[in-house]
Structure 1
Amino acid sequence: MSIASKTAMGAADRDLKRLRRLLRAKDRMDAAPHEEWPVSRLAQVSGTSPAYFARSFRDAFGIPPHRYLLTRRVERAAALLRDTDLPIIDIAFQTGWNSLGTFGRTFRDVTGESPGELRQRTQATPAELDRVPHCFIRAAQRPDLRMAVSEKRRRKNGDTSGPTETEVP
């Protein structure tokens, strides 16, 4: 075996180990999205430094860890709004927000409608999707967070001041 092929195998092995570490942290976020997951805690779960973890997570999954967690929280909140009659404040606290106002504002920024509007719209329509597999419905309704919520809000309001974030392709 040549030196080049040994080097390539070593690099592939390192990449696989790095991906396993990242997936370990991602699985923890998926299992408990209502918990606080600062980058330092995620880095500890994956056995890396915070800076390396944040950079590697974005490279591997296309979005920063905070946005991934925010996507999961909004997705879970939307499912609870559709499928239960829980009060909106209970859903906000169950999905990891500490404030009803922050939950409502972020939910609207991400989905384009307030939690109450989503609940009213989804519960008013008959069950047309009963025969569609649940995993397809969840994937279709997953929020798209390729840009920061603050950037999205700034663009919507026509504010061009401040730093702009480039979108992930």
Structure 2
Amino acid sequence: MRLRRVRDRIDREYREPLDVEALARGEAMSAGHLSRLFKRAYGESPYSYLMTRRIERAMSLLRRGGLSVTEVCFEVGSSSLGTFSTRFSELVGMPPSEYRDRASRDPDGLPTCVVRHATRPLRKPPGNPVENPGDHPVRNQEAPVAGHVLR
């Protein structure tokens, strides 16, 4: 139940700067303990979970069109365009501008659930680049640093 509250808070407040210590304090546990339990329950650290949510939201905004990559970056809570673009490229397999351009050329009409499933960002193992952006290997989880601000 406590982990679900943390996950729900990240889902609600993904635009805000979140740190593991504040999340842990809210559940009366240490940051390290929260990180271990969260990773065991959900397969990724709170930081990785937050970044995945932000990138999923960014993908949705880029597919919809009407916003620049910079506007999308700040809309999803990232404070640095460079960091956002790097993380987006790592998770999706292409830069956000290329993703936006491809999405604008693709025909509409696919159900939202199919688009979400097919475009969900997955982490690739370090040192193992994705040959084809459509082939996503198993997630690679990062260990959060206690007190680290999640941006």
Flag the structure with higher helix content.
1
For normalisation by structure 1, the TM-score amounts to: 0.71
For normalisation by structure 2, the TM-score amounts to: 0.79
2:22 maps to a residue whose letter is: R
Give the alignment's Cα RMSD to 1 decimal.
Answer: 1.9
Structure 1's 98 and 55: CA in aligned 2 closer, same or farther, altered over 3 A? same
3-state SS of 2:18 partner: coil
Report the number of matched residues.
132
State the alpha-carbon separation in 2 of the partners of residues 97 and 167 from structure 1.
Answer: 21
Determine the structure 2 residue equivalent to 1:160: none
State the alpha-carbon separation in 1 of the partners of residues 117 and 26 from structure 2.
Answer: 27
Quote how far apart the aligned CAs of 1:146 are. 6.2
Structure 2, gaps ≥5 residues long: 130-138, 142-151
Determine the structure 2 residue equivalent to 1:99: 80
Higher radius of gyration, 1 or 2: 1
Determine the structure 1 residue equivalent to 2:136: none
Question: In 2, are the aligned partners of 1:63 and 1:146 still within 8 Å (CA)?
Answer: no
Q: Runs of 4+ in structure 1 displaced over 6 angstroms?
A: none
Question: In 1, are the aligned partners of 2:90 and 2:123 still within 8 Å (CA)?
Answer: no
Residue number among 13, 28, 31 corresponding to 1:47 in the alignment? 28
Deviation digits for residues 65-101 of structure 1, max 9, x if unmatched? 1111110011000100001311111110111211111
Question: In 1, are the aligned partners of 2:65 and 2:104 still within 8 Å (CA)?
Answer: no
Larger RCO, structure (CA 8 Å, separation 6 or more): 2
